[in-house]
Amino acid sequence: MDNFLTALSTSLAEGTFISLTLSKPRGPHTDDRIKRETVRPVEVRGQSRYQLTRQYPQRETHENLDADEVVRRVSLGLGSVLKHAHLFTTDSDIAARSNQPGDYRVSVSPPSKRVPSSVAHDRKKQHLISEGRPCPFLHELGVMSADGRVHRAKQDKFRQINRFLEFVEDVIPHLPSEGPLDVVDFGCGLSYLTFALHHLLTVIHSREVRILGIDQNAHVIDRCNQTCKTLKLQGIEFTAEAIDAPSTSRKVHLAVALHACDTATDDALAQAVRWQADVILAAPCCQHELAPQLESDALTLLTRHGILKERLAAMSTDALRAAVLEQAGYRTQVIEFIDTEHTPKNLLLRAIRRKDNTPNAQHMTHIEELKTLLGIKHLRLATLLGNHSPE
């Protein structure tokens, strides 16, 4: 059976998996006996999952699992619960048959099934960068092989990159439709997402870009510049400096700050507003500014538990940031960046500069009300933008 499980695991990791059927129940007939199991790929909120359907004599159950859990379930049930298994991949059909528990015969035959067009279509639609197609920057950054296979350990990173690109794709209508696009990525780090942005705008949308990645860590900036050189990329550069003291002053169409630590997000948001960026995408990281300030008798039941206090502080920080951005002339939404299963840092602030950017007095009132309720005295973003009013 090891051969069968290895083939199953490989097909899931390499994306050649089409479906799996387990049949021929072992043991006496009862109402609780599993008659048959099938596994097929599905998309759940943008994530690749595998739906396990179990048929019992009078009911059916469905579960959406990740690849490792599929292999684990099959290793538990095959032979002891169901005697036959048929794995269909794009390369071959593989059958395992067990007459006695612990005794299996595995046979391999040419592929008899094709990828259902609906799944292929969905995958294409979901992923702006598709698996199986070579992508030089992802190869250079160690996410995929030269022939386009995403390395198993980098599946989450690959999904995160595609998810981020979907958000950028959604805001493209709010950027100038002609001429070079100016983009700044604050706290770019190793710049998987900055290079992805460059790929989306230049390769997929054929736009001329001037992308600047800023990070205070000179070591990562050296690596990013090296990657640019190796890939001979045009229109992207990196500079080692602090977010709150950038040496450039430029018109920015799109400002990005993804997981910049703590109040570095506020520095980035403030800088983006001063530059009047058309669109700001910011995924906050850890938030430490408000937790020590929270002081409110009415909230004692929340603040007496450290973990709840942290979460309340984090939520309040992002709610206040969104409101301050609204106040500064942006239509702002707080949305889920990536499934919480993959990272707790899963929020994205999406701010689009309003054409009619008159300050909204109601937001100012709400900001003050929430600060009073929580006992907040200092809010960095509000302080940084104290003198800023929409033009």
Ligand X SMILES: C[S@@+](CC[C@H](N)C(=O)[O-])C[C@H]1O[C@@H](n2cnc3c(N)ncnc32)[C@H](O)[C@@H]1O
348 with 282: CB under 8 angstroms? Answer: yes
Q: Do 164 and 196 contact (CB within 8 A), yes or no?
A: yes
Tell the smallest beta-carbon distance from residue 195 to ligand X (Å). Answer: 11
Question: How many angstroms separate the CA atoms of 331 and 322, rounded?
Answer: 9
Dihedral sign of CA atoms 70, 76, 82, 85 in order:
positive
3-state secondary structure of 378: coil
Residues 199-238 that bind ligand X (CB under 6 A): 214-217, 220
> How far, CA to CA in Å, does 220 sit from each of 49, 239, 281, 310, 364?
34, 10, 22, 30, 39
What is the DSSP code string of 255-306? EEEES--TTHHHHHHHHHHHTT-SEEEEE-----SSGGG---GGGHHHHTSH
Which CA distances in Å does 315 have to 105, 289, 349, 364?
56, 12, 12, 18
Alpha-carbon distance of 367 to 382, in angstroms, equals 10
* Shortest distance (Å) from residue 180 CB to ligand X: 23
Stretch of 22-30, 103-111, 257-265, 326-334 lying at the interface with ligand X (CB under 6 A) = 257-265
Contact 90, 112 (CB under 8 A): no
- Compute the least distance from the CB of residue 325 to ligand X, in Å: 19
Determine if 259 is a binding residue for ligand X (CB under 6 A): yes
What x/- string results for residues 266 through 285 when contact with ligand X is judged by CB under 6 A?
A: -x-----------------x
CB of 243 to ligand X, least distance (A): 4
Binding characters for ligand X, 156-195, by CB under 6 A (x = yes): -------------------------------xxx--xx--
Tell me the residue number closest to ligand X, measured at CB: 189
Q: Given candidates 138, 264, 328, 382, which one binds ligand X under the rule CB under 6 A? A: 264
Shortest CB 71 distance to ligand X, Å: 29
- Residue 262 near residue 285 (C-beta atoms within 8 A): yes
To the nearest whole angstrom, how small is the minimum distance from the Cβ of residue 267 to ligand X?
6
- Scanning 24-32, 50-58, 141-149, 260-268 for contacts with ligand X by CB under 6 A, the matching segment is 260-268
Q: By CB under 6 A, name the one of 78, 135, 258, 374 that touches ligand X.
A: 258
* Min separation Cβ 52 and ligand X, Å: 33
Q: Say whether residue 243 binds ligand X (CB under 6 A).
A: yes
Which residue has tokens 């794709």? 169
Q: Does 150 bind ligand X (CB under 6 A)?
A: no
Answer for which of 261, 286, 299, 334 binds ligand X (CB under 6 A) is 261
**Is 288 near ligand X (CB under 6 A)?**
no
**Shortest reach from residue 264's CB to ligand X, in Å:** 3
**How many residues form the binding site for ligand X (CB under 6 A)?**
19
Q: Are the C-beta atoms of 240 and 211 separated by less than 8 Å?
A: no
Residues numbered 98 to 137 that lie near ligand X (CB under 6 A) are none
Q: Residue 249: which residues within 8 A CB-CB, separation 6 or more? A: 275
Residues that bind ligand X (CB under 6 A): 187-189, 192-193, 214-217, 220, 242-243, 258-261, 264, 267, 285
